[in-house]
Amino acid sequence: EAFNAAVAEAAELNAFIVTTPGHALAAADEVDQARAAGDELGAMAGVPIGMKDLFATRGVQTSAASHILEGFRPEYESTVSQNLWKAGAGMLGKLNLDQFAMGSSNETSHFSNVASPWRKAGSNQPMSPGGSSGGSSSAVAARIAPAATGTDTGGSIRQPAAFTGICGIKPTYGRCSRWGVVAFASSLDQAGPMARSVEDCAIMLGAMAGFDSKDATSLDMPVPDWGGALSSDLRGKKIGIPEEYRREGTDQAILDAWEQGKAWLKDAGAEIVDVSLPHTKYALPAYYIIAPAEASSNLARYDGVRYGLRELPEGAGLQDMYAETREAGFGDEVKRRILIGTYVLSAGFYDAYYNQAQKVRALVARDFERAFGEVDLILAPTTPTASFPLGSMNEDPLTMYLNDVFAVPASLAGLPAMSVPAGLNPDGLPLGLQLVGKPFDEQSVLDAGLAIE
Ligand code: GLN
């Protein structure tokens, strides 16, 4: 009965694109056998997780929520999912997302919108679970899956976690292999866990991370036992509050939660100090040049020859096939990104846009480096507002892009960053606080997250 109720709720939220109960059951059987044989069990033994449909899963449709990859069943497994299976996890299914992970509301999926299980008090209006990992946040928040994978290019783990009252961490760039993850913007893409607690995130991240020779940007560093070392004792830690994040348009409830977060961290023994990240306001425009530029290059491979969809009208030539396949296979937001990306990379505009954005990226990274000379961590809001109703931002991509304003700087700098729940706003919707750490210092991020949680 509980299973059927969960299936019905999952269907209503539209969190899954395909379900794979057999995969989860087989993993559970294997764990039973290992236990009976007295073998040591992995950190994720028997845990049925949801897999964002951006990770290649052998024999199971991997669509990136696009029409162009509909029906694509890879013959290989992404390194991250393989690591999770090795640790004993099983897969409940492939989770819906914004198409090619481009979006902040989970409204750009070819397989329709995902709803959050949350509603405004006294309203029945379906709310956005955030994006692009909106299937992940929705399924975990609705207690349909205990945990799920996400990916974060410019906030796609942290913003949906904040919108749905769960935890999500993007590790240092390079911690999780990108091999077998459908590429959006390769210099920014990172996988990470989304779960109900900081501890669950710490354990799952430990299972996902690790060096992989198949990803040239993979970090060749040991994976610490984050879960085992978790501690909310923050004595001796300095936490920086960046004044530039106090920007116009941020909800009062979020500013209040930020104050509350400071108090919680102080109670845990930390010292709170002000820091400055002067180039913060240039991060978002730089991101919306760099990410589309890389996307336009990565998405050139979908041409109707190799994967999924092929549109080949009667008597058509090769060029027509490319054009027709891409016209039919990509959604509007994906096309918008490809157009922006090819524009900023084109001769004549490259220096003015792409090169300039790369310089800004270096300045944003240097801001953090300087701040981390003084403090161990940075505390900021995850988003300027709580979740919004599905459909309310359809005509307004710029306002939608603004949602990422607090998430994008840490992405440009490749830093570990986590969103943890920090109470509800007056409408009864969840709010999230963000912790950003030094490179490779996921432990401090998780520890401070535990103190806030
Ligand atoms: N919302 C941002 C975008 O649309 C970030 C997406 C992501 O992190 N994958 O680009």
Range of the domain at 112: 2-229
Question: 214: CA distance to ligand 1 center in Å?
Answer: 24
Does residue 102's CB lie within 6 angstroms of at least one atom of ligand 1?
yes
- Say what the pLDDT of residue 398 is: 82
If you average pLDDT over every residue of the chain, what do you get? Answer: 96
Residue 308 placed within a domain: no
Q: What is the pLDDT of residues 72-102, one digit of tens each?
A: 999 999 999 999 999 999 999 999 999 999 9
Average pLDDT over residues 25-34: 96
Q: What is the pLDDT of residues 190-215, one digit of tens each?
A: 999 999 999 999 999 999 999 999 99
In which residue are the tokens 């906030």 written? 155
Q: Which of ligand 1's atoms lies nearest the C-alpha of 184?
A: 9
Q: Considering all CA atoms of the chain, what is the largest pairwise distance in Å, rounded to the nearest integer?
A: 72
Q: What is the pLDDT of residues 230-266, one digit of tens each?
A: 999 999 999 999 999 998 789 999 999 999 999 999 9
Instruction: Residue 149: give its domain's CATH number.
Output: 3.90.1300.10
Average pLDDT over residues 322-336: 97
Does residue 184's CB lie within 6 angstroms of at least one atom of ligand 1?
yes
Residue 380 placed within a domain: no
Q: What is the pTM of this model?
A: 0.97
Q: Which residues are catalytic?
A: 52, 132, 156
Question: 267: CA distance to ligand 1 center in Å?
Answer: 34
Q: Which of ligand 1's atoms lies nearest the C-alpha of 287?
A: 10
Residue 12 placed within a domain: yes
**With pLDDT > 90 as the criterion, what percentage of the chain qualifies?**
93
- Say what the pLDDT of residue 166 is: 98
Question: 179: CA distance to ligand 1 center in Å?
Answer: 19
Interior/surface letters 160-195, b for 16+ CB within 10 angstroms, e for the rest: bbbbbbbbbbbbbbbbbbbbbbbbbbbbbbbbbbbb
- Say what the pLDDT of residue 118 is: 97
- Say what the pLDDT of residue 306 is: 86
- Say what the pLDDT of residue 313 is: 87
Residue 187 placed within a domain: yes
> For residue 4, what are the CA distances in angstroms to 11, 117, 139, 409?
10, 17, 15, 42
Q: Which of ligand 1's atoms lies nearest the C-alpha of 157?
A: 8
Among 19-33, 340-354, 384-398, 421-435, the range scoring the smallest mean pLDDT is: 384-398
Q: Which residues pair with 50 in a beta bridge?
A: 93, 148
Number of domains forming the structure of the chain: 1
- Say what the pLDDT of residue 395 is: 77
Does residue 132's CB lie within 6 angstroms of at least one atom of ligand 1?
yes
- Say what the pLDDT of residue 308 is: 86
Residue 14 placed within a domain: yes
Residue with the smallest CA separation from ligand 1 atom 10 is: 102
- Say what the pLDDT of residue 399 is: 81
CA angle centred on 56, ends 52 and 59, rounded to 5°: 115
CA angle centred on 93, ends 89 and 99, rounded to 5°: 120
Residue with the smallest CA separation from ligand 1 atom 5 is: 154
Residue 303 placed within a domain: no
Q: What is the pLDDT of residues 270-321, one digit of tens each?
A: 999 999 999 999 999 999 999 999 999 999 999 999 888 999 989 989 999 9
Residue 386 placed within a domain: no
Predicted confidence band at 9 (pLDDT cuts at 50, 70, 90)? confident
Average pLDDT over residues 116-138: 97
Residue 200 placed within a domain: yes
